[in-house]
Amino acid sequence: MDRRSLINAGLAALAGKAIIGKAMAAASPVPKQNADVSIENFSAAGKSLGVVRVARVTKSDDEWQRQLSAEAFWVTRRAGTERAFTGEYDENHADGLYRCICCATALYDSRAKFDSGTGWPSFWKPISALNVVKTADYDLGVERDAISCRLCDAHLGHVFDDGPRPTGLRYCMNSVALHFVPRA
């Protein structure tokens, strides 16, 4: 096999994998839009207020567009990604909580934030596993784990297994998907 044939075969394999991945993602069960969900509430000091069962937040695209900036809408509602090193929270070292920009659910505590050098705010764990959802993402032709808000389905970023101890995880989030609130 010559070099050109090898490259074409590789590109065809990647394209095929991307198509299969999208088909698999489309076939995944979609949660009921109006179903109740369980989340863990947190005070402004970061103390758990317990688990509550609440109605999932659902809005039309027009409602989300009125609430969010154009970039926040693109990231949270269309699974976009902001450019590295452009988000306001990558270099934020203040003490507090990171909440969902769409519904204010507590997502991350600054005490679990670390400098990953990637250009996005990174955390080694969410504030509560109940508040985030991990799903398969095949958009780049390879499987990645996308992270979204359980309450409103906002796309937040991705999780990778190259983080620090104790979890070894790196929750790589988009700044525009988050709202930082200083600890009370």
What percentage of the chain exceeds 70 in pLDDT?
Answer: 82
* pLDDT value for 62: 98
Does the pLDDT at position 93 exceed 60? Answer: yes
Segment 120-129 mean pLDDT: 98
Quote the domain boundaries for residue 163.
31-182
Q: 139 versus 113: which is more confidently predicted?
A: 113
Q: Both 7 and 62 in a single domain?
A: no
Q: Both 11 and 94 in a single domain?
A: no
For all residues of the chain together, what is the average pLDDT?
A: 88
Q: What is the pLDDT of residues 133-167, one digit of tens each?
A: 999 988 877 889 999 999 999 999 999 999 999 99
Look at the chain and report how many structural domains it folds into. Answer: 2
Catalytic residue list: 172
Q: Both 159 and 74 in a single domain?
A: yes
Q: What is the 3-state secondary structure (H, E, C) of the chain?
A: CCHHHHHHHHHHHHHHHHHHHHHHHHHCCCCCCCCEEEEEEECCCCCEEEEEEEECCCCCHHHHHHHCCHHHHHHHHHCCCCCCCCCCCCCCCCCEEEEECCCCCEEEEHHHEECCCCCCCEECCCCCHHHEEEEEECCCCCCEEEEEECCCCCEEEEEECCCCCCCCCEEEECHHHEEEEECC
Q: Both 37 and 57 in a single domain?
A: yes
Segment 63-89 mean pLDDT: 97
Segment 110-129 mean pLDDT: 97
Q: Residue 67: which CATH number?
A: 2.170.150.20
